[in-house]
Structure formats: structure tokens, C-alpha cells
């Protein structure tokens, strides 16, 4: 399991998602939380995504399940990342190039004016990669 998300010191659920939480007992080392500070831009997010995908490749996964949160979009009222709409197409391309069967579930996104465009760019990126 690998999660890139806002720091739980400032984002829901506030009590989990810390970098130090790496799994327990037989699962120790199989959990990777990557909390990020406010103001993350496209380049930093994409570098972080690449690092996460490298970690997942070491586990020889059979498939990839992505809980896609569009609350990382710059104008989202709930998030504090600065990702542009174009970044979501790039994220999609990198997920497709992970070269495993892929399931994407919608998790969040609260900018009702921009959500449709951002989601469309992401899903177009999945189809065109």
C-alpha cells in the first residue's frame, strides 16, 4: 500500500497517514505513507509519484488500484496542493506505464466548477497513454 496525501497534521483523518506508519507484524514494511506539505506543485508531485511507483515495483505487484483524489487540484477548496489540470493527464500516463492492470476509483474532489475538466483530462490520459 502506498499513499501520497496531505500531511495528517492538517488534513483528515488527522490520526493516521504518517510516514512512520509502515505496517505491523507480517505486513511490516508493506505500507508507505508519503504525506506532503501544503503548496506542492506539479513537478514535486510527479517526482513523488515516481518514487512511490519505484517502491511498488519492488513488490512485483500483479495489479495497481488507485484511489484518485482530485482534491489535489489547485483550486479545490478542501486541498492545499497546487496541481494544474494538465498534471492529471501526466499522472494518468505514469500510472498506465506502470504496466499492470489498473483500477481507478474516484476518491475526492470538491471544486465543482473545475472537477469535470480535471477528471476528463485524467481519464483521457489513461486512454491515450
The per-residue pLDDT string of the chain (129 residues; one tens digit each, 9 = 90 and over) reads 999 999 998 887 788 888 889 888 988 888 999 999 999 999 999 999 999 999 999 888 899 999 999 999 999 999 999 999 999 999 999 999 998 999 999 999 999 999 999 999 999 999 986
* Grid cell at residue 58: 519492488
Distance CA 1, CA 30 (A): 6
- pTM, 2 dp: 0.91
- Write phi, then psi, for 105 (nearest 5 degrees): -115, 140
Q: 115-128 vs 85-96: helix axis angle to the nearest 10? A: 30
Q: Are 111 and 77 in contact (CB under 8 A)?
A: yes
Amino acid at each position: 500500500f502506498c499513499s501520497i496525501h496531505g500531511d495528517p497534521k492538517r488534513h483528515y483523518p488527522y490520526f493516521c497517514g504518517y510516514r512512520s506508519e509502515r505496517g505491523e507484524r507480517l505486513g511490516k514494511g508493506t505500507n508507505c505513507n508519503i504525506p506532503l506539505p501544503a503548496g506542492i506543485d506539479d513537478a514535486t508531485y510527479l517526482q513523488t509519484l515516481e518514487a512511490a511507483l519505484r517502491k511498488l515495483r519492488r513488490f512485483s505487484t500483479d495489479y495497481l488500484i488507485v484511489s484518485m483524489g482530485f482534491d489535489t487540484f489547485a483550486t479545490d477548496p478542501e486541498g492545499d496542493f497546487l496541481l494544474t489540470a494538465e498534471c492529471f493527464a501526466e499522472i494518468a500516463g505514469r500510472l498506465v506505464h506502470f504496466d499492470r492492470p489498473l483500477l481507478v476509483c474516484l476518491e475526492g474532489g470538491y471544486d465543482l466548477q473545475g472537477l469535470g475538466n480535471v477528471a476528463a483530462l485524467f481519464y483521457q490520459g489513461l486512454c491515450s497513454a
